[in-house]
Amino acid sequence: MNADSVPPHLFAVTRPLPLEDVSRLLEYTDAQHPLAWIRDDRGCVGVGELLRYDFFGEDRFAAANDIWQKISALSTVDDPLNLPGTGLITFGTFAFDARSEASSLLVVPRMVIARNATQAWITEISTTPIDDEPKLPERQTESSWRGTKLLTDLADEAYLSGVRGAVAQIDRGEAEKIVMARRVISAIDASDDLRIPLDRLAERYTDCWTYALDGMMGASPETLIRQTGGGITARVLAGTRGRREDELADARERDELLANKKEQHEHVFAVQSVVTALSPHVNDLQVSPEPFALKLPNVWHLATDFQATPGDGVSSLELTAALHPTAAVAGTPTSDAIEAIYQLEPFDRARYAGAIGWMNSHGDGEWVIALRCAQIGEAVDGERSVTAYAGGGIVAGSDPSHELQETVSKFRPIAEALAP
């Protein structure tokens, strides 16, 4: 729908479910076009598509927030549970750059099936009053999966050239940090069941948000913003080392990351960008006193957590817009880094390193940075394109070959998920 069209009056009804009925959430979403938001023992899936709004350009976040506020104001919600993820909600994914040809969008599903550690529920959403109690749809068992092998460790002269160009700009004083990305392109069979790689990601990366919306899918370790129950949390990741199978070698990688001045310097940029963006909108902002090493199956990350309370009544999407893009995915200064990315990367990032998440009718929600991901295209001649992305921060003294190897580690989650 066009964002300028008259917003519809929506009706949403949430009811509890037996927890055992939704032990495998992914069985309820579409195999070729899944909508999912899962982390460990909680999350949700969407069924069907009631509304869809596409946005482009500089005002994509503001336009999306505006239409959602109008829809929310007109909605009638029956939600006795009043939990994060109950009631009327929308899902969104946003392009990294305002100049991107990729659309940013909000999607309202016809049904949301969700759970946390102790409760489960179902929400039906309609443009007409809902007279009957929401009922679970039939489960869809997993079907075929041929998958694809992502060739992430091949020579990539375009990326190496981009890193060298970024270092040259930094050496000339045009930026302090520039995040450079790679992409790897492949294809899968049009009949492949995308819930299978999502299930792999959800099972292996329980500390990440496994997500899928409009073909954008992955497992992000970086929470851009979480605003629920009057509290706000965020997490920044900047600085990476690959994991090692040997326990002692792995511990050395972790310790070297914590002690490395370059990585610490890069991390400070990312932390400061979040503090600067959040401070005008929140109260009682608290920051981890020191970065800590976050352990994931494929990498170690330097991480910093943030906590705050809402300050001026802004929605989670407005906070997301204020934060995007952080120094962790763009660089410092942000505007100079974005321009350098536009000049040096030989492709449109589309939704990679943009924001993806959900929001309810009160403006609460959860948004992460779209990382460790791939965009799956629509079916053409029996195949669907796969475009996977990974990147890393470039600062003074960055070595192109080391940066290339870091991207290989970051490709690993999506490469393993999509493997045959």
Q: Each residue of 232-290: pLDDT tens digit?
A: 999 888 888 888 888 988 899 898 988 988 788 778 878 888 899 899 999 999 998 88
Q: What CATH code is carried by the domain that includes residue 361?
A: 3.60.120.10
Q: Is residue 133 part of a domain?
A: no
Is residue 5 pLDDT above 90, yes or no? Answer: no
**Confidence label for 61 from pLDDT (cuts 50, 70 and 90):** very high
Higher model confidence: residue 292 or residue 93? 93
> Which pLDDT belongs to residue 263?
81
pLDDT at 312: 78
In a domain, 155, yes or no: yes
Percent of the chain with pLDDT over 90: 79
Distances 111 to 45, 97, 139, 339 between C-alpha atoms, Å? 8, 31, 14, 40
pLDDT tens for each residue of 329-349: 999 899 999 999 999 999 999
Q: How many domains does the chain have?
A: 1
Q: Is residue 3 part of a domain?
A: no
Is-contact 208 294, C-beta < 8 A? Answer: no
Does residue 333 lie in a domain region?
yes
pLDDT at 141 over 80: yes
pLDDT score recorded for residue 178 = 96
Residues present in the chain in total: 420
Q: What pLDDT does residue 270 have? A: 82
Q: Is residue 135 part of a domain?
A: no
Query: What is the enclosing helix (H) or strand (E) of 73?
Result: helix 60-74
Model pLDDT, residue 137: 94
Domain housing 91: 11-128+146-418
Task: Please state, for a pLDDT cut of 70, what percent of the chain lies above it.
Answer: 100
pLDDT by residue (tens digit) across 297-323? 888 888 999 999 988 789 999 999 999
In a domain, 134, yes or no: no
Positions marked catalytic:
177, 222
Q: Whole-number mean pLDDT of the chain?
A: 94
CB burial class (10 A; 0-12, 13-18, 19+) of residue 58?
Answer: exposed
pLDDT digits (tens, 9 = 90+) for 181-221: 999 999 999 999 999 999 999 999 999 999 999 999 999 98
DSSP state of 281: G
Give tens-digit pLDDT for 144-167. 999 999 999 988 999 999 999 999
Is the pLDDT score of 113 beyond 90? yes
State both tokens at 80.
């006795």
Rounded Cα distance between 369 and 48, Å, is 24
Please say if the pLDDT value at position 418 is more than 80: yes
Name the residue with higher pLDDT: 249 or 126. Answer: 126
In a domain, 268, yes or no: yes
1 belongs to a structural domain: no
Q: How far is CA 177 from CA 25, 221, 249, 287, 329, in A?
A: 40, 21, 29, 22, 10
